[in-house]
Amino acid sequence: MSYENLSIFEQDFWDINNALNRLLTSTNATALLLVDKAGQMITSVGNTTNVDLVSFGSLAAADFAATSQLALLIGEDEFTELFHQGKHENIYITIVLSRIILVVIFGKTTNLGLIRVRIKTSVAELEKIFKNIFSKLNSNAPRVKETFNDDFKKAAESELDDLFK
């Protein structure tokens, strides 16, 4: 069964953010977003003040998923990169370990060529971090159980009851 939670602990989270910040600096991009394939935002760096990150994550994952299906229709496994060009801002999307979507938002302060070159190192770094995260998923189960214990469940249920009053 492929059901599992994606737990990201503190050290891994900071390693991810550091890798993203290095890429942000070396490319001079506007912002970087990391989204899981189900559409949930993992983290972001850079200037995202005017971006609805939750919506963006959901749509980026849908974009990538729909384009992957187009790839299948012409005999490709998936398109490993997507590029959307706008008047002022552009989006470049690539995939990490076939499971995590890396989005670069950039404007006129940089260019696609530079991003393509710089992102290779960052993807390699992120792959290493996520391999480590995925390898720990089973051994993390007890910590997940401990965090989301009966007290948590009761409190969350009570919040749900209040929400729908």
Partner 1 sequence: MSVINYSSREITFKIVYYGTGLGGKTTNLKVIYNKVSPDQKGKMISLATEMDRTLFFDFLPMDIGSVKGFKTKFQLYTVPGQIYYNASRKLILKGVDGIVFVADSQVERFEDNIESIDNLLENLQEHNLKIEDIPFVLQYNKRDLPNISSLDDLQKSINPWNVPYFEAVATQGIGVFETLKAVSKMILQRL
Minimal distance, residue 45 CB to partner 1, in Å: 13
CA 134/CA 101 separation, integer angstroms: 15
Minimal distance, residue 150 CB to partner 1, in Å: 10
94: Cβ contacts below 8 Å, ≥ 6 apart: 80, 81, 82, 101, 102, 119, 123
User: Per the structure block, which two tokens stand in for 80?
Assistant: 């490993």
Which CB sits closer to partner 1, 67 or 110? Answer: 67
Minimal distance, residue 109 CB to partner 1, in Å: 27
Binder among 23, 43, 48, 111 for partner 1 (CB under 8 A): 43
The stretch among 20-28, 32-40, 111-119, 126-134 that binds partner 1 (CB under 8 A) is 32-40
* Residue 76 is a binding residue for partner 1 (CB under 8 A): no
* Residue 116 is a binding residue for partner 1 (CB under 8 A): no
Which CB sits closer to partner 1, 47 or 158? Answer: 158
Q: Which one-letter DSSP state was computed for residue 110?
A: S
> How many residues line the site for partner 1 (CB under 8 A)?
45
Binder among 62, 83, 108, 120 for partner 1 (CB under 8 A): 62
b or e along 123-142 (b: 16 or more beta carbons within 10 Å of the residue's beta carbon)? bebbeebbeebeeeeeebee
Minimal distance, residue 148 CB to partner 1, in Å: 4
**Residues 78-87: contacts with CB within 8 Å, 24+ apart?**
81/116, 83/112
